[in-house]
Each structure stands twice: as structure tokens, then as C-alpha cells.
């Protein structure tokens, strides 16, 4: 009996042992499960973080793309604007270089400054109509004076209109330092007595001549050869524009050079 009992007790103890074994197995399984869940959660967090980062990167990329597109558009716009400005400038330049001498000459110096138009006479030359004029202070013979004018790309002045005579009479009248301080003009009858020719060999138009009173008088008082060249001027200006005098070509006088106002070598102010 006691053996049986002992056996039974042993059995019970064994079963008890088994029971406790099962309990620890369940516990360790739970721990594993917990660990696994923790790992899963961690993985989920990591995945979420990664996908969020990926989303952000995509968003940034899109933004950069948009910005790039905007900049590309701006660049195109700037290019178009630049092209338009270049065209405008080219037009303005061709306008300026093709403007007639009248347009170039009209502005007075003060206007030229504000409009950006160009002066076409050199320094010390006076612009009037389509011409530039130089009023010399040196007194030379008619031939010498003409050479000096030619050396400056001009010739002695040729008077082609009443308007031009008015301008010159006014200028000379203001420059004369005495009643005898006259200026050579490009008119002479040296070639053929009594036939007055301008320096370009064109004959004097009698309705456009401005002889003073009884001139030309071919006076031989100074030079027996007579007077075959013409000088002009009445101090203060002649009221009737008549201020031409014939004079010995060897006499020493001041002079007026004339040349066409330049349209090519523009001097911009």
C-alpha cells in the first residue's frame, strides 16, 4: 500500500512537474510574442518614417521641378525681352544713321543734347542750313585763303541764297574789328574780265548778287591790275544785305570757308 501510495505520490509529483513545465513554456511563448509585436511595431515605425521621408523627397522634387519650370519660363521671357530691346536699338540706330542732313542739322546745340541727335560741324565751325562755315582771323591773299580752306576739306564760301547772305552778313558784321576788316568769299573774275564766277565755276546769278552801292568798281588805286576778287562785310551788318566789294586778289584779308555738314562722321553730344 505504501509502495502504491509512494508510486502515486511519485506520479502526482511528476504530473505536477509536467504542469509547471507547461506553465514556463506558455510564459516563454508570450515573451516571444511580445518581442515579436515590439519588433513589428518598430518595423512599422521605421517603414512609416521611410515612406514619409520618401513622400517628402517626392514633394521637394516636385517643388524643384516647378521652380525649374518657372525659371525656364522667366528665361524665355527675358530672352524675348532682350530680343525686342535689341530690335528697338537696331531700329533707332538705323533711324539715326539714315536721317537726312536736314534732320541732323536742324536741332540747335541745346536741343541736340536733350534729343541725343548729332552735331555735324567740327569745333570752331558754325552750322547753318546744310553747311559748316569757318570764319578765319588770319589775313591772307585770296589764293592763299582758298588753299587754307581746301586744306580743311572746304573751299571759299559760295553764296547761293538770300537766306545764306543774311546769315553771313549777320555773322561777319558781328566779327569785324573795324570798317576795313572784311572777309574773302569764293567769287572772282580773274579768269575772264567782268565774268564773275564762284569757286565751283558756276556764274554769279545777278538777281542773287549783293554788291555794295557802286561796287564792283575795279578800283586801281591800290593795285594797277584792278580788283578781281570779292570780300564781304559791313561792321554791325548791312541793313539791305548789300556788303560785297571787289578787291585786289593780292590784298590780305580774313576769309570764310564753307563745306557740307557731315552726315557720316557724327559727333554725338
Ligand X SMILES: *[C@@H]1O[C@H](CO)[C@@H](O)[C@H](O)[C@H]1NC(C)=O
Enumerate binding residues for Ca ion (CB under 5 A): 158, 160
> Could you tell me the smallest distance in angstroms from the CB atom of residue 82 to ligand X?
8
HEC string for 67-80: HHHHHHHHHHHHHH
d(CA 114, CA 108): 10
Burial class (CB in 10 A: 0-12, 13-18, 19+), 201: exposed
Q: Which does 239 bind (CB under 5 to 8 A by kind): ligand X, Ca ion, none?
A: none
Residue 81 vs 240, nearer CB to ligand X: 81
Q: How big is the chain by its Cα radius of gyration, in Å?
A: 54
Residue 132 vs 249, nearer CB to Ca ion: 132
Could you tell me how many residues make up the chain?
Answer: 269
Residues β-bridged to residue 133: 126, 258
Q: Give the single-character DSSP code of 140.
A: B
| Residue 194 binds to ligand X (criterion: CB under 6 A) | yes
Nearest alpha carbon to residue 147 among 84, 197, 77, 199: 199
> Could you tell me the smallest distance in angstroms from the CB atom of residue 204 to ligand X?
9
> Could you tell me the smallest distance in angstroms from the CB atom of residue 149 to ligand X?
24
**Binding to ligand X (CB under 6 A): which residues in 210-249?**
218, 220, 225-226
Q: Which does 208 bind (CB under 5 to 8 A by kind): ligand X, Ca ion, none?
A: ligand X
> Could you tell me the smallest distance in angstroms from the CB atom of residue 134 to Ca ion?
13
| Residue 193 binds to ligand X (criterion: CB under 6 A) | yes
Amino acid at each position: 500500500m505504501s509502495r502504491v501510495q509512494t508510486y502515486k505520490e511519485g506520479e502526482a509529483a511528476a504530473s505536477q512537474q509536467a504542469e509547471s513545465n507547461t506553465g514556463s513554456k506558455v510564459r516563454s511563448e508570450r515573451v516571444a510574442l511580445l518581442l515579436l509585436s515590439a519588433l513589428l511595431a518598430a518595423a512599422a515605425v521605421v517603414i512609416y518614417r521611410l515612406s514619409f521621408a520618401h513622400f517628402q523627397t517626392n514633394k521637394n522634387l516636385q517643388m524643384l521641378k516647378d521652380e525649374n519650370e518657372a525659371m525656364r519660363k522667366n528665361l524665355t521671357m527675358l530672352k524675348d525681352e532682350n530680343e525686342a530691346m535689341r530690335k528697338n536699338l537696331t531700329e533707332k540706330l538705323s533711324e539715326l544713321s539714315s536721317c537726312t542732313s536736314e534732320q541732323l542739322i536742324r536741332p540747335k546745340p541745346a536741343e541736340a543734347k536733350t534729343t541725343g541727335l548729332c552735331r555735324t560741324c567740327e569745333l570752331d565751325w558754325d552750322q547753318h542750313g546744310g553747311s559748316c562755315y569757318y570764319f578765319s582771323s588770319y589775313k591772307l591773299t585770296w589764293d592763299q585763303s582758298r588753299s587754307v580752306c581746301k586744306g580743311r576739306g572746304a573751299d571759299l564760301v559760295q553764296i547761293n541764297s538770300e537766306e545764306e547772305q543774311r546769315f553771313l552778313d549777320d555773322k561777319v558784321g558781328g566779327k569785324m574789328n573795324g570798317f576795313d576788316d572784311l572777309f574773302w568769299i569764293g567769287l572772282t573774275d580773274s579768269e575772264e574780265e567782268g565774268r564773275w564766277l564762284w569757286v565751283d565755276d558756276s556764274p554769279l546769278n545777278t538777281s542773287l548778287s549783293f554788291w555794295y552801292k557802286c561796287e564792283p568798281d575795279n578800283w586801281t588805286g591800290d593795285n594797277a591790275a584792278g580788283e578781281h576778287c570779292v570780300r564781304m562785310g559791313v561792321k554791325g551788318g548791312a541793313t539791305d544785305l548789300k556788303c560785297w566789294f571787289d578787291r585786289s586778289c593780292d590784298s590780305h584779308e580774313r576769309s570764310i570757308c564753307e563745306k557740307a555738314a557731315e552726315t557720316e562722321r557724327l559727333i554725338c553730344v
